[in-house]
Copies of this chain bind each other. A is one copy, B any other.
Amino acid sequence: MLAECLIPTTAPQTTLARVVEFFVEAQERFGAARAFGIGSFGPIDLDPGSPTYGRLLRTPKPGWAGADVRQALIERFERPVAIDTDVNAAALAEAEHGAGRGLRSLAYVTVGTGIGGGVIHDGRTRYGSTHPEMGHIVVRRDPRDGGFAGVCPFHGDCLEGLASGPAIQARWGAPLDSLAARSDALDIIGGYLAQLVVSIALLTACERIVIGGGVMTDGALLPRIREAASRFISGYLPVARGDPTLEGYLVPPALGERSGIIGAALLAQRMR
């Protein structure tokens, strides 16, 4: 890694101008880039045959709907620019250089401001017509959580509406690690996230699931998710056979917070 920087996400033009500026400077120091790779927040149109390929779709981020992140780089540098979601990029990095090394399939889930996930098989990040939106699955409600309406602007109490960082904040007024009724909260949130783990395992049969993101920095949460997922799976799932506690099946990221940026670099590498 030759250079990196953190640019806050403000308006698209301001933000993208600073991205371009970073690369102008970096190329002065290190030579011309042969390709660019972008791991962006979504939703993005990832269908190469679509007229809006590479553009952001409807998003609550002000000004970003319709923004063409890729085009800003193409216009300035005239080089190939790969784009995928941040979470698909992170999944790719974990699959190739992190917790999925040696496996053919891996899922990556991030639990933070939102909940998202990507699935890699044989190095591919995409299968259907676009990226997954798995944070919005319907989950069975925990009776101890009754009455909380959820915070998802689209669905109310989908998984993201119940178990994302903002959902936890809205429900209890604080992050998980500072709660008085902490054990119950960990159980409730762990039970919701476990349902995504179970669905990924049952629908994709992937060999391992990596779970990271801001909410997961509370280290007490992962064991609760494993417990609940293991209860749901009940020894049924071939992928988790010989691993009843899921300690090898459901793991933290091996690349920590760097999986997204490493994944974007891998996307660029593939474009050369």
Chain A interfacial positions (CB closer than 8 Å to B): 43, 45, 57, 104-105, 117, 119, 121, 126-134, 136-141, 154-155, 158, 195, 198-200, 202-207, 232, 234-239
Contact = CB atoms under 8 A, between A and B. Distances in A.
Contacts of A134: 202-203
A157 to B, nearest CB: 9
Nearest to A157: B140
A131 B202 CA distance: 9
Given A128-B204, A128-B207, 14 more contacts: A105-B128, A119-B127, A121-B127, A127-B204, A128-B239, A129-B206, A131-B205, A132-B202, A137-B198, A138-B139, A138-B195, A139-B140, A140-B140, A199-B203
A139 to B, nearest CB: 7
A42 to B, nearest CB: 10
Contacts of A199: 137-138, 199, 203
Majority SS at the chain A contact face? loop
A117 to B, nearest CB: 8
A185 B30 CA distance: 66
Copies held by the complex: 2
Contact of A198 (B121, B138, B195, B198): B138
Contact of A137 (B43, B121, B202): B202
Nearest first, the 8 A-B pairs at minimum CB distance are A128-B205, A121-B127, A128-B206, A105-B128, A154-B236, A130-B205, A140-B140, A133-B202
B202 A57 contact: no
A206 B203 CA distance: 12
Contact of A155 (B104, B203, B234): B234
Nearest to A141: B140
A204 B43 contact: no
A205 B104 contact: no
Contacts of A238: 43, 45, 57, 129-130, 133
A269 B155 CA distance: 44
A254 B121 CA distance: 29
A127 B132 CA distance: 15
Nearest to A122: B127
A99 to B, nearest CB: 15
18 contacts: A45-B238, A127-B127, A129-B207, A129-B239, A131-B205, A132-B203, A132-B205, A133-B237, A134-B202, A136-B236, A138-B139, A138-B195, A140-B141, A154-B235, A154-B236, A155-B232, A199-B203, A203-B204
Contact of A133 (B104, B136, B195, B236): B236
A234 B202 contact: no
Contacts of A130: 205, 238-239
